[in-house]
């Protein structure tokens, strides 16, 4: 599949390049080597089409990313699991560190990220250690793709998630929770995630550095992430908003987990945080304040509940994708079956652009009677198709199920697609 097409369908993986460059700025030499192999630059990875990174922002981001990267690894190692599942793995060199400690490593991410990251990271690992390192392109909302990727994994697993959930809609994060619970029930282990309290950790890191400018810089950081990912950031039910009643927001996030058969234990960051080299980039007083602030926020260690009160949607979400296409006059007729997600949406976009190049299209009609799920990647393809039709009334979605309609409504796509 063409890399440019994969990026258009789901550009979220571009934000991972910000992370590896920030690790490189923190002095992580393997991250420096990955950035060099991928020819990444400061301009490409940190700035966006509408924002330029301020010095304070870069410093805070570097400290935040290094803290998250090292602390999640420390918690994963202490979990006792001999297999770590990095979801998403991005471009970070965690595989090397885990392989050197005798821990099996599974790096899972979008196919577009894996195709770039795998050769760059494997080149850093000694040949005798590579057999314990595995990379696979997945869609985190697709349980079948996760099961296939972990087919060879042994024993309980520790799944780590850093920076993924902020890009998900409620339907996507709900599907992810269902899939992780399935894995934990089958294999045992835990899910360690830095994401629910990421906003609070960002504030606690940014305030001592930026002072009165921290809110302005935070908003710029959000804009940068949205520019690079093409999604609205941080709006799902597992995101503990640092605004308003934080205790209530946290309770609601815990209840969301419980609805999906999961429970969480807060792991206070300061209690697990190893030495953070990038703290030398700020004054001693600022560094001490950041360390103290890490007593106030946590990463979450999530396990499966013994009793399951959730509605089982596994069968619904695992149906394979198929599509039928025909052209009648100037109208493309599509029939979608199963799931349209990161793994399947590129096929739909590739077909649409091929047909559009061969025919003069003025209308698109899509039968959704057998469509059971659509992710943000699929919605992005629908939007590309919609924008290409001059007469918007000739873009039609038909026979939409209640489940798919709910996704359209919660993401706001119903306002122009229905």
Map out the domains of the chain with their CATH numbers.
3-304 (3.40.50.150), 319-417 (3.30.750.24)
- Whether 354 contacts 212, CB under 8 Å: no
Instruction: Kindly tell me the sign of the dihedral angle through the C-alpha atoms of 403, 408, 409, 415.
Output: negative
Query: Is the whole-model pTM more than 0.85?
Result: yes
Rounded Cα distance between 20 and 14, Å, is 11
In the predicted model, residues of the chain with pLDDT beneath 70 are 1, 3, 229, 233-234, 307-319
Sheet with 189-193: strands ordered across: 133-137, 104-109, 83-86, 157-161, 189-193, 298-304, 262-268
- The per-residue pLDDT for 134 is 98
- The per-residue pLDDT for 51 is 83
- The per-residue pLDDT for 221 is 81
- Whether 383 contacts 377, CB under 8 Å: no
> Tens digits of per-residue pLDDT, 344-374?
999 999 999 999 999 999 999 999 999 999 9
Six token digits for residue 83: 């297999």
- The per-residue pLDDT for 1 is 60
Residue showing tokens 């599974």: 106
- The per-residue pLDDT for 233 is 65
How many C-beta neighbours within 10 Å does residue 381 have? 22
- The per-residue pLDDT for 25 is 92
- The per-residue pLDDT for 310 is 46
How many C-beta neighbours within 10 Å does residue 30 have? 19
Rounded Cα distance between 23 and 275, Å, is 14
- The per-residue pLDDT for 260 is 95
- The per-residue pLDDT for 297 is 95
């Amino acid at each position: 599949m063409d890399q440019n097409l994969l990026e258009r369908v789901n550009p979220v993986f571009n934000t991972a390049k910000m992370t590896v460059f920030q690790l490189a700025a923190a002095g992580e030499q393997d991250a420096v080597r990955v950035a060099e192999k991928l020819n990444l630059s400061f301009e490409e990875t940190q700035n966006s089409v509408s924002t330029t990174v301020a010095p304070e922002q870069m410093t805070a981001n570097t400290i935040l990313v290094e803290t998250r990267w090292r602390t999640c690894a420390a918690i994963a190692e202490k979990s006792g699991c001999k297999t770590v599942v990095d979801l998403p793995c991005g471009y970070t060199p965690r595989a090397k560190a885990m392989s050197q400690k005798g821990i099996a490593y599974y790096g899972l991410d979008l196919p577009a990220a894996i195709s770039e990251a795998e050769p760059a990271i494997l080149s850093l690992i000694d040949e005798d250690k590579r057999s314990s390192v595995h990379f696979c392109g997945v869609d985190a909302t697709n349980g079948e793709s996760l099961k296939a990727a972990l087919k060879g994994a042994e024993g309980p697993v520790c799944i780590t998630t850093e920076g993924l959930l902020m890009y998900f809609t409620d339907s996507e994060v709900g599907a992810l929770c269902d899939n992780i619970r399935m894995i934990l029930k089958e294999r045992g282990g835990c899910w360690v995630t830095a994401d629910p309290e990421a906003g609070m950790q960002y504030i606690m890191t940014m305030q001592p550095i930026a002072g009165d400018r921290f809110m302005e810089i935070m908003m710029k950081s959000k804009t940068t992430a949205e520019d690079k990912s093409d999604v609205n950031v941080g709006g799902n039910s597992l995101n503990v908003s640092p605004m308003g009643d934080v205790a209530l927001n946290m309770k609601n996030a815990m209840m969301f987990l419980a609805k999906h058969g999961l429970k969480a234990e807060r792991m206070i960051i300061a209690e697990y945080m190893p030495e953070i080299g990038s703290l030398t980039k700020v004054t001693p007083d600022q560094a001490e304040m950041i360390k103290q602030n890490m007593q106030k926020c946590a990463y979450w260690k999530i396990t499966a509940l013994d009793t399951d009160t959730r509605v089982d949607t596994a069968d619904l979400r695992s149906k394979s994708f198929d599509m039928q296409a025909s052209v009648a006059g100037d109208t493309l007729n599509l029939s979608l079956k199963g799931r349209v997600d990161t793994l399947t949406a590129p096929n739909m976009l590739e077909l649409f652009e091929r047909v559009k190049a061969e025919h003069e299209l003025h209308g698109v009609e899509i039968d959704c009677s057998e469509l059971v799920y659509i992710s943000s990647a699929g919605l992005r393809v629908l939007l590309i198709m919609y924008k290409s039709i001059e007469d918007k009334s000739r873009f039609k979605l038909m026979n939409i199920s209640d489940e798919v309609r709910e996704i359209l409504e919660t993401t706001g796509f119903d306002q122009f697609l229905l």
